[in-house]
Amino acid sequence: MPDHSIGIRVIVNGQPVQVKASPHQPLIPVVNKALNESGNSGQPLENWELRDASGQVLDLHKKVGDYGFTDGVKLFLNLKAGVGG
């Protein structure tokens, strides 16, 4: 069976991280992997928000495929307003 995963470029506080994801998995593991690979593990997951290129906040419980992302999509992961230091 072929690998149908797509490459998602997650920009974590300005730092790009490449993550492979299956359309059938929720966005939570994508965010966790991006945070781990970028070294941003000091804040819990609920303090972060993931947005698409248009600035729309994405629901991390939805599946990658629910958003119809294509290979190479760019998403932006930043701390929520008022969080951090």
Q: What percent of the chain has pLDDT over 70?
A: 94
Report which residue type is found at 34. Answer: A
Query: Could you read off the pLDDT of 1-17 as tens digits, one per residue?
Result: 445 899 999 999 899 99
Query: Could you read off the pLDDT of 36-69 as tens digits, one per residue?
Result: 999 998 899 999 999 999 999 999 999 999 999 9
Q: Which of 40, 71, 14 is nearest to 31 (CA)?
A: 40
Number of residues written out for the chain: 85
Q: Which of 22, 10, 15, 30 is nearest to 73 (CA)?
A: 10
Q: For the domain with range 6-79, which CATH number is right: 3.20.20.70, 3.30.2010.30, 3.10.20.90, 3.30.360.10?
A: 3.10.20.90
Distance CA 32, CA 71 (A): 19
pTM for this entry: 0.90
